[in-house]
Amino acid sequence: MRKIMLLNAKGGCGKSTLATNLASHYASQGKSVVIADFDRQGSSMDWLEARPQDRPPIRGIAAWRDPVRVPRTTDYVIMDVPAGAHSAELTALVRRAHTLLIPVLPSPTDIRAAAHFIHELLLVGKIVRDETRVAVVANRVRENSTVQHTMESVLNSMKISYSTLNTQIYHNLERFLSRLKIPFIATLRESNNYLVADARGLGIFDLTPAQVARDIEQWEPLLKWLDSRRSMPDAAK
């Protein structure tokens, strides 16, 4: 049974969106999936209530009030954790998971908050690297305009360094993570497809492939990493 947790101390970074889309992906692959929602707001549970019955089933647990008991036949448990977890509460939560995914928005404030949170995970949360794996996902990133993309390509071909503000911001986070040996796995764009899917209790993996081709492409590095041994703690391999 694989246990994957979405968490960040800062709210509004897209934890529930990543959790529900990850669940929909594994369900679409014929896997037995459970979402455990630890957030009293119940965003993941609301999403499940809206999910059509003709879609691959996903079981939900309101983990903020009910025990997290899942069938032994479950393949994946996706855990959606509320913002603001610290100290003993944070320690208790992360010990439930094999893999922690931290979504981060492209702003200096969010990246500073993520750096502090990761520091707490490693020190206060007492994450042991052979028991838990951690990775970061850049989320809701606005893609470069055509002009910006062309300029970057041309200047880089001339060996002149150029990057947009988002790129510069994330480079700072990448340097921080590299010192801690924490992988920066994927960059997911800001896309209306997530809103369209969420309103219907779906994930982007449930939508027409042609409609979400660009989004699915951006998920591939994350899914590939999750399917690799690198994302699994030594104790669970």
Q: What pLDDT does 111 receive?
A: 81
What pLDDT sits at residue 199?
95
pLDDT score of 92: 86
Query: Residue 157: inside a domain, yes or no?
Result: yes
Please report the pLDDT score of residue 160 as a whole number: 42
Query: Cα–chain-centroid distance for residue 207?
Result: 19
Crossing angle of helices 192-199 and 15-28, in 10° steps, is 70
pLDDT value, residue 151: 40
Q: Coil, strand, or helix at residue 185?
A: strand
* pLDDT number for residue 237: 57
CA angle 118, 123, 124 (to 5 degrees): 95
Element (H, E) at 139: strand 133-141
Half-sphere exposure of residue 147: CA atoms within 13 angstroms, side-chain side: 0
Does 237 reside within a domain?
no
The answer to whether residue 234 is domain-embedded is no
Please indicate, yes or no, if residue 130 is contained in any of the structural domains: yes
Angstrom distance (rounded) from CA 175 to CA 134: 16
Q: How many structural domains comprise the chain?
A: 1
Residue 11 lies in a domain: yes
Q: Residue 201 sits in a domain of what CATH number?
A: 3.40.50.300
Cα torsion angle, 174, 179, 185, 190, sign: negative
| Burial of 229 per CB tally in 10 Å (0-12, 13-18, 19+) | exposed
* Residues 103-149 pLDDT 10s: 988 777 888 888 888 888 877 555 655 678 889 998 888 766 444 44
For residue 67, give every residue at least 6 positions away whose Cβ sits within 8 Å of its Cβ, in sequence order, or none. Answer: none
Segments of the chain scoring below 70 in pLDDT: 124-130, 143-172, 235-237
Q: 25 is written with which tokens?
A: 């992906």
Domain-located, residue 207: yes
Structural domain of residue 175, as residue ranges?
A: 2-228
Query: Residues 99-122, buried b or exposed e (16+ Cβ, 10 A)?
Result: bbbbbbbbeeebbebbbebbebbe
Residue 88: its H or E element: helix 87-94
- 135/137 Cα distance (integer angstroms): 7
In a domain, 149, yes or no: yes
Judge whether 204 lies within some domain.
yes
Rg (CA), the chain: 18
